[in-house]
Amino acid sequence: MSRGDWSILLVLALFWGSSYLLNKIALPGFPVFTLVFIRVTLAGGLLWLVLHLLGKPLPRGWKVWAALLGLALMNTVVPLSLFSAAQTTLSVSLTSILNGMTPIMAVITAHFMTTDERATPGRVIGVLFGFAGLVTVIGAEALYGLGGHLLAQAACVVATLSGALAGIYGRRFTGLGVDPLALATSQLLLSALVLLPVSLIVDTPWALPMPSLSAWLAMLALTLFSTALAFVLFFRLLARVGVTNTFLVTFLLPIVAMVEGVLILGEPVAPQHLLGLALITLGLVAVDGRLPRKAWLAMRPNAA
């Protein structure tokens, strides 16, 4: 990856890493589906306005829009809803650590569903470390089905699988010549259409009290930075560097989220969370492969 690609990755990490904190602040004022619906609706509307001002059209053809609906479900509706629901019981730090499984899931799905991103020995080792970290984070709850938060943790894992599948599925739009901005706008607008009836039926938002100012401010930040701008950067990076490299962003998400959770919300971090994060990080290092290769090359002259 070039320096420009790494710059995009760092900004994306900041935007998505902060989304866990913003979600935690917004959730007391909004039910889960209503929160996600407002978030994608405002973000989609904002991007559509930008698209219109730039003179760029939305994609055309029912086949493209049918494919976009699948992307909207896998990349937005399912993961955002599951992570938001999980955060009603899980801390900012724990949710972000579990999201670190996304690139591990990406390696597995890319191996079976693509021809150019097969699993290498390093990536297989990374997957093993990642799952060891996952079991460590969840602990005995994962092994014995105990604990009140097991369902929330499982929801996070399913969300990472959905996100990994979306990364592979989204590659097809590069071949179709769909502009990254138009792609982000379209999937957000479709997500809003899917979530509207769900929000109305499940949450009945008209019967709820008005959210606080802090909840609205968190919602606006989620909309602008963690959704609208983040998805544009995501699809641009996906088209340039591929699925596995794009999901390296999750190297940094737990760090951003954990620091914000501790400093702003005063959340505690359990030792098993830090150990699990370390194992998942080792898995991501193995998946990436660059650091082990550099270490090996640095050792070869000494070995000679």
Contacts of 84 (CB under 8 A, 6+ apart): 23, 27, 32, 35, 36
DSSP 66-116: HHHHHHHIIIIIHHHHHHHHHTTTS-HHHHHHHHTTHHHHHHHHHHHH-SS
Q: Is the pLDDT of residue 64 over 70?
A: yes
Rg (CA), the chain: 19
Long-range contacts of residues 52-58, Cβ cutoff 8 Å, at least 24 apart: 54/181, 56/179, 56/181, 56/182, 57/182, 58/182, 58/185, 58/186
How many domains are there within the chain?
Answer: 1
Residue that wins the pLDDT comparison between 284 and 221: 221
Query: 80-89 pLDDT, tens per residue?
Result: 999 999 999 8
Q: Is the pLDDT of residue 102 over 60?
A: yes
What is the average pLDDT across 107-122? 75
Residue closest to 180 by CA, chosen among 124, 129, 122, 239:
239
What is the average pLDDT across 1-7? 78
Q: How far apart are CA 193 and CA 208, in angstroms?
A: 21
Query: 149-181 pLDDT, tens per residue?
Result: 778 888 998 998 998 888 788 777 766 777 778
Q: What is the pLDDT of residue 197?
A: 95
Q: Is the pLDDT of residue 142 over 50?
A: no
Query: 235-265 pLDDT, tens per residue?
Result: 788 777 776 677 677 767 777 888 888 888 8
Crossing angle for the helix pair 230-246 and 271-288, to the nearest 10 degrees: 70
Q: How far apart are CA 4 and CA 23, in angstroms?
A: 29
Q: What is the pLDDT of residue 110?
A: 78
Return the number of other C-beta atoms located less than 10 Å from residue 101's C-beta.
Answer: 26
Crossing angle for the helix pair 150-169 and 230-246, to the nearest 10 degrees: 90
Contacts of 263 (CB under 8 A, 6+ apart): none
The most confident of 62-66, 102-106, 287-291, by mean pLDDT: 62-66
- Give the angle 156-157-158 at the CA atoms, nearest 5°: 90
Three-state SS at 261:
helix
Q: How far apart are CA 111 and CA 96, in angstroms?
A: 24
- pTM, two decimal places: 0.79
Query: 276-304 pLDDT, tens per residue?
Result: 778 877 877 777 666 666 666 666 665 54
Range of the domain at 40: 3-303
